[in-house]
Amino acid sequence: MYEFCIPKVRRNLLDLSTEERNHFVRALDMAKRTVHPQFVIATRRAEEILGPDGNTAQFENVSIYNYFVWTHYYSVKNTFHGAGQESFGEVHFSHEGPAFLTWHRYQLLQLERDMQPLVLRASYSEPTGNYNPAVRSLHNLAHLFLNGTGGQTHLSPNDPIFVLLHTFTDAVFDEWLRRYNADIATFPLENAPIGHNRQYNMVPFWPPITNAEMFVTAPDNLGYIYEVQWPNKFYSLKEIKKCLQDD
């Protein structure tokens, strides 16, 4: 699926020079203002998509970054049968289940792919266990700390810090896959929340891609590596909390 010769390096933000950081910010700004070359978004429900005259498709152009925001918004919205009908309830294709990691991984890959031409114009260098609700809470607290749109699940990508937060989350995920040689059998084949089973396609990405396709180590399968030094020692959640309190 991904063709690459030399893996791209996702740099540590803290190690970037001032000019490199400015370059990154400029690229994000360009993505916000550049019309996506491939996708448009629907502005009406399926029943209303042809407009009042029944002949005018209700679609709009969308910028590269706003398409990134829209995919996240769509993935967490309630899904309704139609006016006056019962709702499916809280449908979270990208949250509240094992696909949280795989879904956000692919969303970042898509944004990265879409932004690469902008980065060249405005790069970053090429190189010469068990589910724990407390860990999830740490991620949620980071969103809440951002405040504004960053603290609202459906709108959180509007804050560009979302890119950095979820890139770090993906780095942790990739290290876990590599360090523990995680088997795909750990990803549920059935009985997960809607959209979260192993072979389910991730909504709303097109062409279709399954959760299983993202449950792989990035350097060998997806064409990127992280510039990060991980501690060799295993820290318990209690030790992590103590470190945060001491800081």
What pLDDT shows up at residue 135? 58
What pLDDT shows up at residue 22? 93
- pLDDT tens per residue, range 98-119: 999 999 999 999 999 999 888 7
- pLDDT tens per residue, range 179-213: 889 899 989 999 998 899 999 999 999 999 999 99
What's the pTM value of the predicted model, to 2 decimals? 0.80
Q: What is the mean pLDDT of residues 39-46?
A: 83
Is there a contact between 148 and 31 (Cβ–Cβ < 8 Å)? no
- Give the span between the Cα atoms of 66 and 44, in whole angstroms: 17
Torsions phi, psi of 244, nearest 5? -65, -40
What pLDDT shows up at residue 115? 92
State the amino acid at position 89 in one-letter form: G
Inform me whether the pLDDT recorded for 45 exceeds 80: no
Is there a contact between 156 and 140 (Cβ–Cβ < 8 Å)? no
Is there a contact between 11 and 48 (Cβ–Cβ < 8 Å)? no
What pLDDT shows up at residue 124? 35
What pLDDT shows up at residue 58? 87
- pLDDT tens per residue, range 152-172: 666 688 888 899 989 999 999
- Give the span between the Cα atoms of 165 and 163, in whole angstroms: 6
Closest CA to 226 of 2, 49, 14: 14
Give the β-pairing of 224-226 and 8-10. parallel
Give the β-pairing of 59-63 and 35-42. antiparallel
Is there a contact between 91 and 97 (Cβ–Cβ < 8 Å)? no
Residue the block writes with tokens 């097109």: 206
- pLDDT tens per residue, range 118-153: 876 654 333 334 556 555 566 666 666 666 665 666
